[in-house]
Amino acid sequence: MRILLVRPQYRGLYKLIKANAKKNLVVPPLGLLYVAAMLEKSGEQVEIIDGEIESFTIRELALEAVKRKPDLIGVGATSVDFHLAKIFAEEIKKCSDITVILGGPHATVLPDKVLQENSCFDFLVRGEGEVTSVELVRVLKNSGKAGLKSVLGISYKMGRDIIHNPDRPLFNFQKDCVWPARHLLKLNKYMFPSPKKGMRQMTVVQATRGCPFGCIYCYKMFGHVVRQRSISDVLAELKYVVRDLGCERVSFVDDTFTLDSSRVIELCEGIVKEKLKFGWICLARADTINTAMVKAMKAAGCDMISMGVESGNDAILKAIGKGENRADFVNAFSILHNEGMTARASFILGLPGEARETIEETIRFSQELRVDRAFFNICTPYPKTLLWDIAENGQALSFVDREFEYFTRWGNSVIELPGISAVDLKAYQRKAMIDFYCRPKIIFKHLTEFLSGNAASYYYRPLLFAIREKLKDVFSRIKSR
């Protein structure tokens, strides 16, 4: 069976900091790559079109998809970009009868709504898609709709009825994981800023799946159970992407890469032993950071660690189920600073229980921490999270907009709090960016990086945004005198 997997262009979603399409960081669509690899392993013919890389409009993407004459088209979507997948599928159905399958978080959390309101999707794949996609294709090829009941993890319409087959158990990531089908992409188009080098070819690697923590704003697509690939398999994949594919940067997309310190150190020692030369970044939690691990990570090429701080107020941190406090963050970022590791922090403004004072406390805290780069998100509830339930019930915060395409966290707010409007939250986000980046030490650090060889304009977007907005304020005050 000829199968085409697609990702629609998404660059227009995020409004606060506009991206230059030709200089944008584009991360490979890892979910599609894993599904493609499993389908190829089962004997199917697979292609991928990345609309973001190709700069296709949605209509252009649909025309290109139909032109390739696939038997089946698969597309994934989060809640934020679901409308793009929907428009794409509608365009496909206007000019063909090709079967269209939707996977990803949105199809997983709202299958009834998706099928009730959108006739353009023939099937939904809920949860992890690797095994479900293989079984669905096999049934469609051999049995047609008669065999659909045997496929776990799918939803579909039968006449007017919506059918939800039982959930599929979590994928055996340790045993059955195949490497992503990177050969289906134009690999040299995927770039990431590298210290002293600028934009360099990159890829993404996933060493574990699952997150054991209980933050109220997060939907756990991969569940709470952490599944770890063997160190030997991860190292073999790293050797392949660095030596055979020529990637100079890797982004580890594990929810918490540093969860198991001894495992991280073992992996880093393996990277050093194999003499693999590449830069890499990862996500971490403050309460997992220790000096020995950070030293090993730096020796293995890690040059930036990103942590979600969310709030500078301990009561808010406790209320959102973060399981960490201010002292944890102070300690963790101090370790990173002392070891010469670039530190990135993300924050959320407008969490349940927030007042203007706590938002301002978070903005101040971002400047007190030894952090090199910071990003400030507006609190945004997503379906099937505790935060969504709180907003639905009007507890502590409430919705002002329910159109998912506006759930971007950047440059827009879909919620308000008592005494704090959506407009206020957007203003706080802008203020946080200006206050953090327009400090002499942050400007100096970025200038030093530029002079050392990192001329990637993408990397400096937050700084340039902050300076531009700061100058607007200065000129506005001068003009008003």
Beta-strand pair 161-164/154-158: antiparallel
**What are the residue boundaries of the structural domains of the chain, listed by start?**
2-164, 190-471
Cβ neighbours of 97 (radius 10 Å):
8
pLDDT value at residue 16 = 47
Q: Note down pLDDT in tens along the chain; length 481 residues.
A: 999 999 999 877 765 445 444 456 789 999 999 999 999 999 999 999 999 999 999 999 999 999 999 999 999 999 999 999 999 999 999 999 999 999 999 999 999 999 999 999 999 999 999 999 999 999 999 988 889 999 999 999 999 999 999 999 999 998 888 999 999 999 999 998 888 888 899 999 999 999 999 999 999 999 999 999 999 999 999 999 999 999 999 999 999 999 999 999 999 999 999 999 999 999 999 999 999 999 999 999 999 999 999 999 999 999 999 999 999 999 999 999 999 999 999 999 999 999 999 999 999 999 999 999 999 999 999 999 999 999 999 989 999 999 999 999 888 999 999 999 999 999 999 999 999 999 999 999 999 989 988 877 778 889 999 999 999 999 988 988 8
Question: Does the pTM exceed 0.85?
Answer: yes
Instruction: Record the tokens describing residue 258, joined without a space.
Output: 């540093």
Per-residue model confidence (pLDDT) at position 195: 85
- 172 CB contacts (<8 Å, ≥6 apart)? 227
| Reported CATH class of domain 2-164 | alpha beta
Measured distance CA(322)–CA(311) in Å, rounded: 10
What pLDDT score does 24 carry? 60
The topology (CATH level 3) of 190-471 is: pyruvate-formate lyase- activating enzyme (3.80.30)
Query: In whole angstroms, how far apart are CA 107 and each of 139, 212, 331?
Result: 20, 23, 40
pLDDT score for 410: 87
Determine the pLDDT at residue 14.
65
Residue 30 to residue 267: CA distance in whole angstroms: 21
